[in-house]
Amino acid sequence: MNQHTFINIINPVKDKVYRLALRLLVSKEAAEDATQEIILKLWNAKLSIKHYTNVEAFIMTMTKNYCLDQLKSKQNNNLKIVHSNYEGREKGIHEQLEIKDELSHIDVILQKLPAQQQLIFQLREVEQYEFDEIVEITGMNHTAIRVALSRIRKKLREEMIKKHRYGIT
């Protein structure tokens, strides 16, 4: 495989690799380092890449495993929300503050979730992967992923209701 072919394979997924690494490793520097490490590992294994039917799933699995190894070695259990779906028109200062407040509250809720649920949330809700791709990346079955997503959404809903009702049930 030549350099041009390799770049054509990597370019569409490198931003997803970075976002997943940032989600799991928290710091931008660690995510950038992880992205570079993954690309370097892929370059070293470039001859075997063509044997995978879903190269993107393979790369995301590599990223997940690399980041989890990094977290184990550093005992770092933090999480940051990487991007939101808010884009386009300019928002007023109050609306921007409300959005920032809501995202930080969601971030706090997500930090309390187990690492596997955080990963599933990132892959499905942020990266918009299909269930089959998540199955391939995580090694879990469809039912377990759907149950995990249901529990994550329920937890988010309950915590947001608590916040907006100011503790009144």
Token duo for residue 30: 């660690």
In a domain, 84, yes or no: no
Q: In terms of domains, do 9 and 67 share one? A: yes
pLDDT in tens, 101-145: 888 888 888 888 998 998 999 899 888 899 999 999 999 999 999
Q: Is 131 left (phi over 0), alpha (psi -120 to 50) or beta?
A: alpha
DSSP state of 88: S
Q: In terms of domains, do 139 and 73 share one? A: no
Q: In terms of domains, do 62 and 116 share one? A: no
Instruction: Give the range of the structural domain holding residue 155, as residue numbers without chain letter.
Output: 90-169
Measured CA to CA, the distance from residue 13 to residue 57 in angstroms comes to 10
Q: In terms of domains, do 67 and 140 share one? A: no
Q: Taken in order 58, 64, 68, 70, is the CA torsion positive or negative?
A: positive
Q: In terms of domains, do 99 and 150 share one? A: yes
In a domain, 28, yes or no: yes
Question: Where is mean pLDDT largest: 8-12, 48-52, 165-169?
Answer: 8-12
In a domain, 113, yes or no: yes
- Percentage of the chain beyond pLDDT 90 is 28
In a domain, 148, yes or no: yes
The domain boundary residue, chosen from 78, 103, 120: 78
Q: In terms of domains, do 110 and 72 share one? A: no
Read off the CATH number of the domain in which 39 is found: 1.10.1740.10
In a domain, 120, yes or no: yes
pLDDT in tens, 25-52: 878 888 899 999 999 998 888 888 878 8
Number of domains in the chain: 2
In DSSP notation, 101-150 reads HHHHHHHHHHHTS-HHHHHHHIIIIIS---HHHHHHHH---HHHHHHHHH
In a domain, 136, yes or no: yes
